Structure 1
Amino acid sequence: MNALRDAFAALHRPGDPVLLYNIWDVGSAKAVASAGAPALATGSHSLAEAQGFPDGEGIPLNLLLDSVRRISSAVDIPVSVDFEGGFAADPAHLAEHARLLVDAGAVGCNFEDQVIGGEGLHPIEEQARRVAAVVESGLWVNARTDLFLKRLIAGENANDRSLLGEALERAHAFAGAGAHSFFVPGVSDLDLIAEICAASPLPVNVIKRDMTDIAATAAAGVARISWGPYPWYWAMARLTEEAKALYTKL
């Protein structure tokens, strides 16, 4: 566990980011690992949907842990898990759930600040306490802010520079709580990404929605690039397309 966790930590190099093409089950984990991935990361939407549950902690925690256990035992590289909001609100239960994630074989997790099943984001000080509870487990904590993503989902400008101040305030608070990297899904403007990377006290993770501009994104200073649910979307779209082609010929 410690060796895998250390190896995962060492992959986070600003300007030379680790690329995490997100997976959702043992089959996808083995496929991506066999392609040469140095580490794996689940996507919450992908993993939940593959088991028949909606995103947003719709999958029961015990089933998530079982999936992680199966994935981590099937590969010999580090596995990070999209832990959403940790399946709890209070720090005591968060710490317990994070330890269960470690026991299942994970070396890291994404941990977000939006209120699952509610509105808005957890206040900064409260979220910092929540981050600290997850950090106690020894996981590499990729502390996520949904400031930008919520704008994107609402059909608004996710690259709004007016969000930068609060985003960096959250980055500093999460760093103070012991987080190891800072995840800003939704941001796509390279100049804004570069500014976040330059000012963040933590290595920065961004999400890509395509396979373009990877080198330019790396040059902006990010330490981690992931693809979230998109590999799942693309795989399912291809499966559907090929099935339609088959059955329309019958």
Structure 2
Amino acid sequence: MSSLESKAKAFLGLHRPGDPGVFPTVWDAWSAKVAVADGFSALTVGSYPVADSIGRADGEGMTFAELSTRVRQITAAVDVPVSVDIESGYGLEPAQLIEGLLEAGAIGLNIEDTVHSEGGRLRTAQEHADLVHGLRRFADAAGVHVVVNARTDLFLRNDGDEADRVDRAIARLRLAAEAGADVLFPVGRHAEADMRRLTGELPLPISATVLPDQADKAALAAQGVARVSFGPFLQAALTAEIDRLLERWK
């Protein structure tokens, strides 16, 4: 078994409904080394904090090559599984995305259904499932079970009628599950009842992004969440602390 395949298997095993794996969201080698030194056994790389760290905007304001360069620096600095937010795919084909991630040493990805390169439109549910299927097919062909976290932005975008938004998200994510996703990611802030519906009715582990200084792991566990990351919020919390420290020196 290759090193990447063993890391992918280990990473997938950390997705435990009711006992969620916590994967700090990092953006460079320094933040990755800090998280690993603090005892975390896997990491996520967030598009927003990486883009911010190199002076680009989120929403594919950076290129996949720029992201891959940063991922390569992170995987060279730490020996734990690393999953990468690849936004909506940077307009690339699944084979290019999988090849680039594996070459950079990553073993997982988030893929979202907002198409930044096409005016921010929302992919249809079937389009998104087809993309997930392509990523799974090329990962399997490469011999690494890349952990695919299929994300929907329905809640983030406040898409359509709120009354049936959870129903539509469940239908959309079920298609992604059938297409080969490993984890499902209804990104956004959810009422407890909605999160319990999502974790109870969907067939795969559910991922949640939370504020590291406010959310509670036990509460997320009770709701059935299997994976916790921080998106841009860990970097934001550190920025606030840096502001506090520097304020003394003005």
**Could you tell me which amino acid in structure 2 is paired with residue 116 of structure 1?**
H
Q: Supply the distance in 2 between the matched residues of 1:37 and 1:161 (Cα, whole angstroms).
A: 38
Mapping 1:25-64, distance limit 5 Å: 25-64=28-67
**Per-residue deviation, 1:188:** 2.5
**1:161, distance to aligned residue in structure 2 (A):** 4.8
**Cα separation, 2, equivalents of 1:211 and 1:21:** 14
CA distance in 2, matches of 1:127, 1:95: 16
Structure 1 position 175 matched with structure 2 position 182: no
The residue aligned with 1:163 is: 165
3-state SS of the aligned residue for 1:141? Answer: strand
CA distance, structure 1, for counterparts of residue 184 and residue 47 of structure 2: 17
Contact 1:128 1:177 in 2 (8 A): yes
Residue 208 of structure 1, aligned match among 190, 193, 210? 210
- In structure 2, the CA distance between the partners of 1:220 and 1:161, relative to structure 1 (3 Å rule), is farther
Percent same amino acid at aligned positions? Answer: 37
Give the 3-state SS of the residue equivalent to 1:211 in structure 2. Answer: coil
- Structure 2 gaps of 5+ residues are 140-144
Pairing 1:144–2:155 present: no
* Aligned position for 1:126: 127
Structure 2 counterparts to residues 1-250 of structure 1, below 5 A: 1-88=4-91, 93-117=93-117, 118-135=119-136, 136-137=138-139, 138-151=145-158, 160-209=162-211, 210-246=213-249, 248=250
Deviations 1:18-71 (A, max 9, x none): 112211000000000100001000111001100111101111221111111110
Which segments of 5 or more consecutive residues in structure 1 lack a partner in the other structure?
A: none
Between the aligned partners of 1:115 and 1:61, the Cα distance in structure 2 is 14
Q: In structure 1, what is the Cα distance between the partners aligned to 2:103 and 2:45?
A: 16
117-126 or 215-224: bigger deviation: 117-126
Kept in 2, the 8 Å contact 1:15–1:222? The answer is yes
- 1:216-246: CA deviations, max 9, x gaps? 1111111101111001111122212212221
Match for 2:172: what amino acid? R
Mapped to 1, the partners of 2:221 and 2:80 lie a distance apart of: 22
SS of 1:231's equivalent in the other structure is helix
Return the offset for 1:144. Answer: 0.2
1: distance between equivalents of 2:98 and 2:44?
16
| Matched residue type, 1:202 | L
CA contact (8 A) 1:29 1:40 kept: yes
| 1:109 alignment partner AA | L
SS at match of 1:64: helix
RMSD after superposition: 1.7
Measured in 1, the distance between the counterparts of 2:111 and 2:196 equals: 22
TM-score (norm 2): 0.91
Cα distance in 1 for partners of 2:94, 2:61 equals: 17
After superposition, what is the alpha-carbon deviation per residue over 1:190-234, rounded to whole angstroms, capped at 9, x for unaligned?
A: 111011001001110011124333201111111101111001111
Contact preservation (8 Å) 1:88, 1:94: no
